[in-house]
Amino acid sequence: MTTDMNNSLYELPTESPRFVGQQVRRIEDPALVSGSVEFIDNVTLPGMLHAAILRCPHPHARIVSIDTTAARQLPGVVAVLTGEDVKRWCNPVVTAPEGWGAYCLAVDKARFVGEPVMAIAATDRYIAEDACELVEVEYEVLPAVPDAPAAIAADSPLLFENQNSNVMLQRVYDWGEVEPLFERADHIVRETFRWNRVGANPMETFGCISQWNLADNSLTCRGSYQTPSFMVLGRSASLNLPSNKVRIIAHPHGGSFGGKGGPRGTDISALLSRKAGGRPVKYIEDRAEYLLAGGGQSWDRYYEAALAVMADGTVTGLKVKLLDDQGAGAEGYGTISVAKPLAAFTGPYRIQAAQYDLTVVATNRAPTFAYRGYGPPPHNLVLETLMDSAARELGIDSAEIRRRNYIQPEQFPYTIPSGNEYDSGNYPEVLARALQMADYEALRAQQQTARDEGRYLGIGVVSTVEPGVFDWNAYRTAGVQGVGVPEGARVNFDMLGQVTVTVGFALEGQGQYTVAAQVVADYFGLEMDAVRVVCASSDAAPPHFGPGGSRVGVALTGAVLGACHKIAEKFRRVGAVLLQCEPDDLELAGGAVRMRERPEAQLGLADLAGTMLARSDLLPPDMDPHPGATHVWTPPGRTEPDEQGRCKSYLTAANATHVVLVEVDPDTGVTEILKYVIVDDCGTRLNPANVEGQVQGGVAQGVGAALLEQYVYTEDGQPLVSTFADYLMPTLHEVPITQKGAVVTPSPFTPLGAKGCGEGSIHITPAAVICAINDALQPLGVKVRETPASPSRIWNLIREAGT
Amino acid sequence: MKPAPFDYYAPDTLSDVVALLQRLENDDIDAKVLAGGQSLLPMLSLRVARPEALVDLRKLADLNYIREEGDTLAIGAMTTKSAVEDSPLVQRRQPLLHAATRLVGHRQIRNRGSFGGSFTQADPASEYPAAAIALDMELKVVGPDGERRVAAQDFFITYMTTDLDTTEVLTEIRVPALPAGTGWSFQEIARRHGDFAMAGVAVTLRVENGVCRAPRIVAFGVGATALRLPEAEQVVDGKALDSALFQEAGHAGAAALEEPSSDVHASADYRRQLVAVLVARGLAEAVARSAA
Amino acid sequence: MTTRHQISVTVNGVNYQREVDARLTLADFVRHDLSLGGTHVGCEHGVCGACTILVNGASMRSCLMLAVQADGAELTTVEGLSRNGELHPVQQAFIDRHGLQCGFCTPGFLISTAELLQGNPNPSDDEIADALGGHLCRCTGYQSILESVQLAAQMMREGTIVDAASPAEA
């Protein structure tokens, strides 16, 4: 069964687009380089107060009492919010699975260091922070669950007493006859891994201004929201408000990558506004708060995995056992991140059957949230390291074992054992190009020469698949109720022929507004500067979901093309009246509607729009005089999961191969990246510069995860990371300058053939770098099995092997 | 993340500063001297430091200079690190100091951070205390009783603690000339370029007739202060140059470390290893740079 | 508790006289007291570089200064880079080479780049890394930033705007 799709709705009416597919400048940029973009902390409203939050210093503690007397007396303090208020007014946050959520402020007990305990609104932030220091909280410290193994120990303390266990989710997925394949295998390769917590850390933290309208009991929240409609539903549920009484105004934000948090900060500032008589309350999460407790931590995992391999290098079966630490509850929808690997469980390979043994637990670490990629980066590290181990055991080159196992170009659409359908690709070609660009044979020779000199060079050749354009339905298998992923665009001409595209999501960096302008300009034969793209508030925007799951480039293209198609139909009908012919006699070309047979008979788009808006008396009374249209695009052909979680979840499957050369200094454990080559295939490249920006940005985050970044916790569950001196994101010095190449296999399922491309690079880079390091370390008989591969960790491995 | 309240003063003259520090001390007010503020401001914003008063030296323009006094370079404490970095005099006369300066934070930090501030801050992982001991710098300090001079070796007491009294101000750092032909090395290993070092070493030595003379080896990032490693120096002092010997010196120096610090970035054992490696590499580089 | 101080600063050529709390950071002063919101705050403890401005011509982190310390100083923020509505070549180069994505860190990069190119019209990659290594960007992976700086240097050397990204040439 393959996906049917009516693409005729989603085509450009031109063979030679001027903008789509070109490296055009971004329409977002002039304002951004001028410093005039309205990020949320640049906004001041009349009467606005500033919130500060007092946070729990213990991993697990009962709140015995809170004394706010002194704080209330500090001049400038206007409102104080505690768990008692919250208990009266709110509900615990909705989670997946259900029942693993907390209130926005700790009620009765706190479950992680940094959990909000009380909050204050004052006339400025300095005073609000002063006031927090005057609050006295008495805690009864409870035994903590510091990590995942402790969570499943027999006598483990409970985080959520109503659950009788710290296990949120436990199940085994079986896809095909795995056991017989392992029994018949010539080789079985096994590995264990520890992936330590990393996280998004956008340069702007979360921020919002909430205003509770006491007259009609409605709420307006301005802020750095990635998914406004989703926030509306969440706030409605947690604050007991009808969903049409919550209005979200998304501001441009300084990056997001999924990890922008926001629900608690929004609820707290909203309730402070309610207590402050409806004055607007600004809450700007600071970096220490973000690092401790913001929505910025992800992927805290323990893996055991095995690969069944035949003597000729054919990989037949994969088993992955995962123990996943969600932290203190499921409020961040981190459970999705353990389910997402189903969309590309077996990577680019023809692996016949697979098994996923999943245990998801709660601990007294900060709750985990989405982070770019949403789960596959650790999974791909596991799979790709196993591929290298198999190659080594069989004496096959690491590039060759991948080539032998790829899904072949003629096999698409291809359904993998875990159920997703890959749309298209040419994996052997991507590999071949990457090896050629890297001059792979020369690299291997260089490695050999270096080894002879006692130096440790390593090469990683890694291939992955990036599922793109996600569908919520897939996550019912992790307990998530689907809320849909519509993406709508409203395209309106004004009477002078200028165009405004209205969408429901704000700028956050990927350049999608530019893509919308490219598409509209090419569709109607306009210059790009005739097109403006704006974000409407949640109550005025077309149905939307916004960025997430590598989907907006594709989804927005579909929405805009659909709207343009509807407008073109209207223009033809109006044109037919004015030119006294039939609509079918007319075509849209060169910025005008003209007669197919007599192209000199034409009407400009401004004339048509102007007639519709200003001279509708010239038109028949039943003719729609609106030179605009709204279209909502959703991915076609997605299915809901069966009892084994199998479904068509992601519409596109992009593919990449990275070739990395590293040198490891065995005396210091320091890794240096010497060469980095990337070839990717994400179908049609709507704006190649945008694609390359996504690719390189993902490399940076992947290098960070592989070498530098970790949220460190002590054995008692205390976080040791609270500043950027502890959480080390790569700088210009640490990120490799990469050579990039492209193979283009357009998707048959998407408008214009583009595939999701926002996450592929972080899916693959950690695996590529770690595989290269392990290749370097091979003569020393050691292997990195824990991230990040920090100098001290590598040196320890070498030392332990040497004694 | 906003500073707690404090009073702020910016006296016009050095004597006014000293008098104010005395008055604040007499009034039992916890005061801190503010120079570039590149270490102090983060601590204020994180509310880790909570002084009741700040005494800013920014109006003491006469503490901003780099000049030659005979063989010695005299550098005013309020000179910025980037001025030291860019100074042709420093590059020519004290290349080790130039190299160490380039490793302090980033350019934007060096543009604001004062040269003297890193001495009074006495962070054991910072570069200047090690450079100061390696180069045998002398510190000029002014207090209620007038001026005194302290050898760098005696200035750094322990973690973030110096010989400076709360009513004293560091005014000048004096860098004596190195004997002709001295080879030097300044090396560190940090998680990222510009971060505080997990460990580092400063080395100076001379080579005479193939023999190592007057080696001075200082390690930093591994203890409560930057510290000389006499055990390592003794291994090479007066000996013929030999890379095996450099490694032996590294191991001797590392073994003599009492209790290297341990944090999220590096364990004590790992720091010991880095010292062993960096001493050996530093010796080799210093020998290569020496005019034998 | 906290002293208040009269200060006089010139920002982008405009003189401002204000009374400020001793503890007010220069970043907060510029952003909120002067409503110059182009200077962004990413960490408030001097690591990320987003808040970098020029103080008397030198790049500094405005979160690591108190407003009162800037008394008498001349400041340049990102709003002061363009002249008479014309973008500074550094700004234009960042647009042309896609040297930004979310744009939050960008004002800091632009300021430090402007400082670098003022003193060094033809910087090497290493010199660029040295000047910009103290700025964190979480979006771009820096490669396009490096290329933007090289392009800006070329534009400034040649005194021209290099049309690098028009579709016709792509």
Q: Find residues 97-156 of chain B whose CB sits inside 8 Å of chain A.
A: none
**Residue A2: what pLDDT?**
45
- pLDDT, mean of residues A277-281: 98
Q: Does C36 sit within 8 Å of A126, measured CB to CB?
A: no
Whichever domain contains A118, its CATH number is 3.90.1170.50
Residue of A nearest to C39 (CA): A35
Residue A697, domain member (yes or no):
yes
Interface check for A253 against chain C (CB to CB < 8 A): the answer is yes
- CATH number given to B64-175: 3.30.465.10
Interface check for A23 against chain C (CB to CB < 8 A): the answer is yes
- Report domain B183-289's class: alpha beta
For residues B254 and B277, give the distance between their C-alpha atoms in angstroms, rounded to a whole number.
9
**Residue B291: what pLDDT?**
81
Residue A295, domain member (yes or no):
no
Residue closest to A466 by CA, chosen among A295, A649, A309: A649
Residues 6+ positions from A250 with CB-CB distance below 8 Å: A223, A224, A225, A226, A228, A504, A505, A506, A535, A537, A538, A546
**Residue A123: what pLDDT?**
98
Check pLDDT > 60 for residue A716: yes
Q: Does A732 sit within 8 Å of C129, measured CB to CB?
A: yes
Neighbouring chains of B at 3+ CB pairs under 8 Å are: A, C
User: Would you place residue A7 in the very low, low, confident or very high pLDDT band (cuts 50, 70, 90)?
Assistant: low
Q: Does B196 sit within 8 Å of A667, measured CB to CB?
A: no
Conformation bin of residue A590: beta by default, left when phi > 0, alpha when psi is -120 to 50? left
Are the beta carbons of A203 and A56 closer than 8 angstroms?
A: no
**Residue A695: what pLDDT?**
98
Report, as ranges of residue numbers, the positions in chain B whose pLDDT lies below 70: 292
Are the beta carbons of C8 and C74 closer than 8 angstroms?
A: no
User: Would you place residue A6 in the very low, low, confident or very high pLDDT band (cuts 50, 70, 90)?
Assistant: low
Query: Phi/psi at B187 (nearest 5 deg)?
Result: -130, 145
For residues A698 and B38, give the distance between their C-alpha atoms in angstroms, rounded to a whole number.
32
Angle value at C-alpha A94, between A88 and A97, nearest 5 degrees: 140
User: Which chain B residues are within 8 Å of A708, Cβ to Cβ?
Assistant: 191-192
Per-residue pLDDT tens digits for A341-356: 999 999 999 999 999 9
Q: Which residues of A520-550 are buried (b: 16+ CB within 10 A; e: fewer)?
A: bbbbbbbebebbebebbbbbebbbbbbbbbb
Residue A649, domain member (yes or no):
yes
Q: Does C52 sit within 8 Å of B1, measured CB to CB?
A: no
Residue A413, domain member (yes or no):
no
Show the domain range for A497.
Answer: 7-35+486-633
Angle value at C-alpha A473, between A472 and A478, nearest 5 degrees: 90
Q: Find residues 695-714 of chain A whose CB sits inside 8 Å of chain C.
A: 695-701
Interface check for C126 against chain B (CB to CB < 8 A): the answer is no
- Report domain C4-79's class: alpha beta
Whichever domain contains A511, its CATH number is 3.30.365.10
Q: Domain check: are A780 and A654 in the same one?
A: yes
Interface check for B195 against chain A (CB to CB < 8 A): the answer is yes
The beta-strand segments (E) located in C25-160 are 52-55, 58-61, 74-76
Torsion of CA A505, A508, A509, A515, to 10 degrees: 0
Are the beta carbons of A11 and A684 closer than 8 angstroms?
A: no
**Residue A477: what pLDDT?**
83
Q: Domain check: are A444 and A389 in the same one?
A: yes
C26 to chain A, closest Cα gap in Å? 14
Q: Domain check: are A47 and A31 in the same one?
A: no
Check pLDDT > 70 for residue A573: yes
Residue of B nearest to A128 (CA): B2
Q: Does A733 sit within 8 Å of B193, measured CB to CB?
A: yes
Q: Which residues of A358-397 are buried (b: 16+ CB within 10 A; e: fewer)?
A: bbbbbbbbbbbbbbbbbbbbbbbbbbbbbbbbbbbebebb
C72 to chain A, closest Cα gap in Å? 24
Q: Domain check: are A522 and A590 in the same one?
A: yes
Q: Check if CATH label 3.40.190.100 holds for domain B7-56.
A: no
Neighbouring chains of C at 3+ CB pairs under 8 Å are: A, B
User: Which chain B residues are within 8 Å of A286, Cβ to Cβ?
Assistant: 1
Final residue belonging to a domain, choices A284, A318, A338: A284
CA end-to-end distance (rounded Å), chain C: 61
Q: Domain check: are A308 and A382 in the same one?
A: yes
For residues C114 and C104, give the distance between their C-alpha atoms in angstroms, rounded to a whole number.
17
**Residue C170: what pLDDT?**
33
User: Which chain B residues are within 8 Å of C133, Cβ to Cβ?
Assistant: 106-107, 193-194
Per-residue pLDDT tens digits for A498-526: 999 999 999 999 999 999 999 999 999 99
Query: Phi/psi at A624 (nearest 5 deg)?
Result: -65, 115
Mean pLDDT estimate for chain A: 96
Torsion of CA A427, A428, A434, A438, to 10 degrees: 150
Check pLDDT > 50 for residue A1: no
Q: Does B5 sit within 8 Å of A723, measured CB to CB?
A: no
Residue A306, domain member (yes or no):
yes
B82 to chain C, closest Cα gap in Å? 10
Final residue belonging to a domain, choices A584, A603, A633: A633
Interface check for C59 against chain B (CB to CB < 8 A): the answer is yes
Residue type, A296: G
Final residue belonging to a domain, choices A241, A258, A284: A284
User: Would you place residue A9 in the very low, low, confident or very high pLDDT band (cuts 50, 70, 90)?
Assistant: confident
Per-residue pLDDT tens digits for A370-425: 999 999 999 999 999 999 999 999 999 999 999 999 999 999 999 999 999 999 99
Check pLDDT > 50 for residue A163: yes
C132 to chain A, closest Cα gap in Å? 7
Q: Does C82 sit within 8 Å of A732, measured CB to CB?
A: no
Residue A449, domain member (yes or no):
yes
Per-residue pLDDT tens digits for C30-57: 999 999 999 999 999 999 999 999 999 9
User: Which chain A residues are within 8 Å of B196, Cβ to Cβ?
Assistant: 725
For residues A442 and A463, give the distance between their C-alpha atoms in angstroms, rounded to a whole number.
20
- pLDDT, mean of residues A43-57: 98
User: Which chain C residues are within 8 Å of B80, Cβ to Cβ?
Assistant: 58
For residues A366 and A329, give the distance between their C-alpha atoms in angstroms, rounded to a whole number.
8
Residue of C nearest to B39 (CA): C64
Q: Does A26 sit within 8 Å of C95, measured CB to CB?
A: yes
Residue closest to B214 by CA, chosen among B244, B183, B242: B183
Token reading at B292: 């034998």
**Residue C169: what pLDDT?**
35
For residues C33 and C21, give the distance between their C-alpha atoms in angstroms, rounded to a whole number.
11
The beta-strand segments (E) located in A176-280 are 187-195, 207-213, 218-223, 246-250
Interface B-C, measured as beta-carbon pairs within 8 A, has a size of: 96
User: Which chain B residues are within 8 Å of C52, Cβ to Cβ?
Assistant: 108
For residues A797 and A671, give the distance between their C-alpha atoms in angstroms, rounded to a whole number.
14
- pLDDT, mean of residues A127-136: 98
Structurally, chain A folds into a number of domains equal to 3
Per-residue pLDDT tens digits for A614-642: 999 999 999 999 999 999 999 998 888 99
**Fold category of C89-158 in CATH:** DNA polymerase; domain 1 (1.10.150)
Check pLDDT > 90 for residue A610: yes
The beta-strand segments (E) located in C12-152 are 14-21, 52-55, 58-61, 74-76
Q: Does B1 sit within 8 Å of A287, measured CB to CB?
A: yes
Check pLDDT > 60 for residue A769: yes
Residue closest to A262 by CA, chosen among A330, A331, A336, A340: A331
Neighbouring chains of A at 3+ CB pairs under 8 Å are: B, C
For residues A207 and A535, give the distance between their C-alpha atoms in angstroms, rounded to a whole number.
18
Q: Does B273 sit within 8 Å of A287, measured CB to CB?
A: no
For residues A299 and A369, give the distance between their C-alpha atoms in angstroms, rounded to a whole number.
9
Interface check for C83 against chain A (CB to CB < 8 A): the answer is no
Domain boundaries, chain C: 4-79, 89-158
Interface A-C, measured as beta-carbon pairs within 8 A, has a size of: 193
Per-residue pLDDT tens digits for C76-100: 999 999 988 899 999 999 999 999 9
Per-residue pLDDT tens digits for C115-149: 999 999 999 999 999 999 999 999 999 999 999 99
Nearest to B192 among A668, A710, A728 (CB): A728
Domain boundaries, chain B: 7-56, 64-175, 183-289
Residue A269, domain member (yes or no):
yes
